[in-house]
Amino acid sequence: MTGSRVVALGHYQPAKVLTNEDLAAMVDTTDEWIRSRVGIRTRHMAGPDEPVDELAYQAAGKALAGAGLTPDDIDLVLVATSTAIDRSPNMAARVAAKLGMGGGPAVMDINVVCSGFTHALATADHAIRAGSATRALVIGADKMTEITDWTDRTTCVLTGDGAGAAVVEACEEPGIGPVLWGSVPEMGNAVRIEGSPPVFAQEGQSVYRWTTSQLPPLARKVCEKAGVTPEELAAVVLHQANLRIIEPLAAKIGAVNAVVARDVVESGNTSAASIPMALSKLVQRGEIPSGAPVLLFGFGGNLSYAGQVISCP
């Protein structure tokens, strides 16, 4: 069976930076309070002229350039997002149009909130293995600041905007390991984007207990399915939810030799964008050797999770 691999990455963030001091002028909080509880210092905020599909398009263009491909080389576009502009056309179709794709790619959005990118990456891998696609563009993009309640100091300090993208293509030697995915539907309301207009809310303590207690054995099982030990991992890229979640979770996985992505400090929680954006930055800075095993593990809304080990492009 043909496998697939990630051959290039790209990311994009809006120019506007929102600091903790900026937030302190808007809501009852302080820089020390934010850093001590979630570890975030800054986040990027998209303007009204930067909708989700624009963020996704910018990241996608960089990934295509990194792969040395044209838009017409892609036959599947997947966009993981929970902040889509409209029900239709979906974000994948909008991105394909912006890129000028003339080859008639399949276009799908995937809404699994914070674990959307790892779900989308697995879907692309499955499509390529099944022979339904040869090259896929997999994007995680969210404009979380548009659904933020700026009067709620427990959530408004978390959110940021951005996008990350990966080009995935068929190969003989698989570079994307088996996915482990699932959910806890009875706890789905712990993370919500509800209402009209929609607003992001969560039960922070419930999410913290679930991630730090239930997810470490699942992440280790991802490694087992890929045939690697946690000690062999070169990097761990978890959903960038909160530094106080990322650090304990990474430690409990046992990846003692791995670089741990901490992009949340500078970017905040960007939902589906967080994993591809953090991974793209690590690769761009040369912090992960090409071909080295990297654990990707997304978790969050629904309470859902998905993870796989990939070979670094």
Active-site amino acid positions? 114, 239, 269
* Burial class of residue 22, CB neighbours in 10 A (0-12, 13-18, 19+): middle
* Sheet of strand 293-300, all strands in order from the earlier edge strand to the far edge: 180-183, 304-311, 293-300, 235-238, 259-260
Q: What angle do CA 200, 206, 209 make, to 5 degrees?
A: 130
Is residue 288 within 8 Å of 259, Cβ to Cβ?
yes
HEC assignment per residue over 129-164: HCCCCCEEEEEEEEEHHHHCCCCCCCCCCCECEEEE
Is residue 13 within 8 Å of 44, Cβ to Cβ?
yes
How far is the first Cα of the chain from the last one, in angstroms, to the nearest whole number?
Answer: 21
Residue 237: phi and psi, rounded to 5, are -120, 100
Q: How far apart are CA 216 and CA 253, in angstroms?
A: 5
Pseudo-torsion of CA 275, 277, 281, 282, nearest 10°?
10
Report the 10 Å Cβ neighbour count for 101.
Answer: 20
* Burial class of residue 151, CB neighbours in 10 A (0-12, 13-18, 19+): exposed
